[in-house]
Copies of this chain bind each other. A is one copy, B any other.
């Protein structure tokens, strides 16, 4: 599940998940499904602009975070507020330091995608988890 627009990390994550056989969901800020990524199998149209970030976060059990921008930061903050797990992938030290200062219970850090997946499996207690 991503923000559903055909750009950047949103698009890359949807394409990667689709290639791996996953079912992808795009939660759109717009009033119609026009302009959504082709890689979003299910397009949830919210008409809520940035408010759709709340839907993205609440629907998730674990958020994978690549890079950092104001939109991404709003999702990390809302996730910590609503007690969803966040895995920062290759985060800059200042970002990692800042988010850690807001609470460590739901914040995780990974250096590689493989490590991120392992952390998520451990959180969700999925088969394949090393714990």
Contact = CB atoms under 8 A, between A and B. Distances in A.
A54 B47 contact: yes
A129 interface: no
Contact of A48 (B23, B49, B68, B81): B49
Interface in A40-69: 42-51, 53-55, 58-59, 68-69
Copies in the complex: 4
A92 B73 CA distance: 17
Contact of A92 (B23, B31, B101): B101
Contacts of A80: 70, 73
Nearest to A48: B48
23 contacts: A27-B44, A42-B42, A44-B44, A45-B55, A45-B59, A46-B58, A47-B48, A47-B51, A47-B58, A48-B48, A48-B49, A48-B55, A50-B81, A50-B82, A51-B51, A54-B54, A68-B101, A69-B81, A70-B81, A71-B81, A73-B73, A74-B77, A94-B97
